Amino acid sequence: MSRRQPRRAVEKILIVNLTRFGDLLQTSPAIAALRRRHPGATVTLMAEKNFADVCDDIPGVDRVYRVELDHVGRLMLEGGARLLEAYRYVERVIGELRAEGFDLALNYSSSRMSAVFMGLLGIPDVRGWSMTPDGLRVIRHPWARLFATMCLNRRYAAFNLVDYYCAMTDGSAATRRLGYEVCAAADADGAALLAEHGIGAADRFVALQLGASRAIRQWPEASFVELGRALAATGLRVVVIGGGGDRALGERVVAAVGAAAVNTCGRTGVGALGAVLRRAAALVTGDTGPMHMAVAVGTPVVGLFFGPASPFDTGPYAADHVVIHSGAPCAPCDHNVTCLDPFCRDELRADAIAAAVLARIAEDWGALAALARTLLPARVYRTGFDDTGRFVPTPLGAPPRRREDALRDAYRATFLNVLEGVPLPAPAPAPVDREQFALLAALARDGMQQAAVLAKLARVGTPRLTELERRGRELEVLDRTIKEHGATHPDTTVLTQMFTFGKENLEGDDVATLAVETARLYRDLARGAEAMTALLGGAASKEHSDDARLHQ
């Protein structure tokens, strides 16, 4: 929904990702895309020290810059003299990064602190969350704004996190799998750990990731026990993996499963974890970092998604993985929700998960489709990619199409059309009030015309200030009407929120230029609303058809 920046020589690239190690692994395709687009550039990856070790073995990274922002946060909470210590640490980090003279920065973290960092670094081309000179947040790059928008509308999440990352490079994914290289030493450590428990190269085992970052994302202990017993009954070994905090849980599960199971929780570093997973026949896990590690080393995943987990935005980024998603009417819930009755975790039965694991190991997609029909309302997905090279989970077993499915697919096609010029597919009528999108398109067309008039007035030699002010107030009223439309017609909120982020991104004090940029935002909002109207079974306006042809 904005013009692409012209290509320029890029010699130094900074990527900022201050989240957990699974998110860092999901950065790897974007790094590969940057390498392809800027083959001579050096790439620095800035990561939180607690999770940065994984970055050392991500292909294409020249330097890992470790920061301790969690430590800074603790110092600030302590207050007093500790505030000065925190300030000096941040000042040193900013000074070191400014001295590097980066040409391009991509901030994949959405925190306020990361936005402040980016605003202080003085890098000419910053994409993602940043800060204006007067201290206001901005989200630069249309795909970054779409990512922020979809985080607020996760039921309609249209793209995988990896594809947002890649699109922010102004390219597409250079690979359809996450990248991680298990070094020789880590590989030997992983093999030795398995050998301690009598698991050699010829022995087949299934890995179980027990823990998760939050209890709502963790499958019940009793379910893991039942699953482990079912797998052991088929002759498979069971290897429980996890961090140091999962040791006690691992011991209980292993003791209940029996001699076929072993506990490796807390005994693997990042590299050795990759080595263990690379040898597994499959991994059963929630939406966790180890899931992304398994994808990176080529091990089949059976992902258990419930609570806030959605297969559409954080599903395993490669072809032919299996995701079983709770069919709870509230799924996926918001990340900030505290659920008092997380019944969605109990919906995924251990016997069905065992059957799914065995079918995936055998690559029996027919059996998985048959299983999917018995699990409704839960959904079983096979991961893959569409014709544009972007990730998409395909439901198995032909489940009934839901209202949110229709809206998600329509939004996906709409933004591919508006942002990338991909032609719209044929309409797919759905039980959605299309008129709400048509009304939004009419509001946006009105705004586009008003902004064009304002730009024309601002260009005259001595513009009439009273007329400019009147036109500006009219646009403010229109913007408020658009925002209220999104609030009262929730299906359109994705479009209205994207528009709001775009308005927040407008910078400068030249009225004519701002009016022209505002007109473009209204135009893109109209095109999006017209596309949704057409895709959901309505008719697109002539203006949208003309815009689409011009964009291609």
Indicate whether 327 and 468 sit together in one domain.
Answer: no
Check residue 102 and report its DSSP letter.
-
Q: Are residues 162 and 199 in the same domain?
A: no
Give the contacts of 379 (CB within 8 A, at least 6 positions apart): 324, 325, 327, 372, 395, 399
What pLDDT, on a 0 to 100 scale, did the predictor assign at position 81? 83
First to last CA, the chain: 14
Q: Look at the chain and count its residues.
A: 552
Of the CA atoms within 13 Å of residue 200, those in its CB half-sphere come to: 1
Residue-wise pLDDT for 396-450, tens only, equals 999 999 999 999 999 999 999 999 999 999 998 888 989 999 999 999 999 999 9
Decide: pTM greater than 0.85: yes
Any domain includes 221: yes
Minimal CA–CA distance to 218: which of 280, 274, 288? 288
Under 8 Å between Cβ of 202 and 247: no
Per-residue confidence (pLDDT) for residue 412, from 0 to 100: 97
Identify the pLDDT of residue 6.
52
Tokens of 240: 């429980």
- Which residues lie across from 125 on neighbouring strands? 104
Q: What is the pLDDT of residue 541?
A: 43
Q: For residue 144, how many other CB atoms are within 10 A of its CB?
A: 25
Is 303:321 a contact under the CB 8 Å cutoff? Answer: yes
- What is the token pair recorded at 11? 């010699």
Give a yes or no: residue 420 inside a domain.
Answer: no
- Decide if 6 is inside a domain: no
Q: Give the torsion sign (CA, 434, 437, 443, 446).
A: negative
10-residue stretch averages of pLDDT, the chain, 552 residues long:
58 94 95 93 95 94 92 82 87 94 95 90 95 90 96 93 95 81 96 96 95 80 96 97 92 96 94 97 96 97 93 96 92 77 84 97 98 95 95 96 94 96 91 93 96 87 76 92 96 97 88 92 97 81 43 37
**pLDDT reported for residue 543:** 45
Task: Give the number of other CB atoms < 10 A from CB of residue 93.
Answer: 19
Same domain, 321 and 393: yes
pLDDT at 307: 85
344 plus 482 within the same structural domain: no
Is residue 158 domain-shared with residue 198, that is, in the same domain?
no
Name the token pair of 325: 């998603």
Q: Which residues, in sequence order, are CB contacts of 405 under 8 Å at separation 6+?
A: none
Residue 230 vs residues 94, 238, 261, 277, 524: alpha-carbon distances, Å:
54, 10, 12, 20, 53
Instruction: Tell the residue number behind the tokens 């008129």, with chain if given.
Output: 435
Residue 174 within a domain: no
**Is there a single domain that holds both residue 217 and residue 346?**
yes
Adjacent-strand bridge partners of 131: 137
Task: Give the DSSP letter of residue 63.
Answer: E
Residues 21 and 142 in one domain: yes
Task: Please indicate, yes or no, if residue 471 is contained in any of the structural domains.
Answer: yes
- DSSP output for 100-115: H--SEEEE----HHHH
SS3 549: helix
In-domain check, residue 518 = yes
Cα–Cα distance measured from residue 433 to residue 26, given in angstroms and rounded to the nearest whole number: 36
Q: Are residues 73 and 206 in the same domain?
A: no
Query: Helix, strand, or coil here: 379?
Result: strand
Range of the domain at 145: 12-167
* Per-residue pLDDT tens digits for 327-352: 888 888 777 777 777 777 888 999 99
C-alpha span between 520 and 56 (Å, rounded): 42
In whole angstroms, what is the distance from residue 148 CA to residue 384 CA?
24
- Chain centre distance of CA 203: 35
CATH number of the domain where residue 128 is located = 3.40.50.2000
In angstroms, rounded to a whole number, what is the distance separating the alpha carbons of residues 505 and 124?
16
Q: Are strands 322-325 and 301-305 parallel, antiparallel or unpaired?
A: parallel
Contact (CB, 8 A) for 184 and 51: no
540 & 391 share domain: no
Distance in angstroms (rounded) separating the CA atoms of residues 378 and 186: 38
Clarify whether residues 65 and 210 are in a common domain. no
Q: Is residue 90 part of a domain?
A: yes
Contacts (Cβ under 8 Å, ≥6 apart) of 362: none
Number of domains, the chain: 3
Coil vs helix vs strand at 167 = helix
Q: How far apart are CA 257 and CA 238, in angstroms?
A: 9
227 and 271 belong to one structural domain: yes
If asked whether residues 147 and 259 sit together in one domain, one would say no
Instruction: Say if 173 falls within a structural domain.
Output: no
d(C-alpha 82, C-alpha 74), whole Å: 9
- Bridge partners of residue 19, in order along the sequence: none
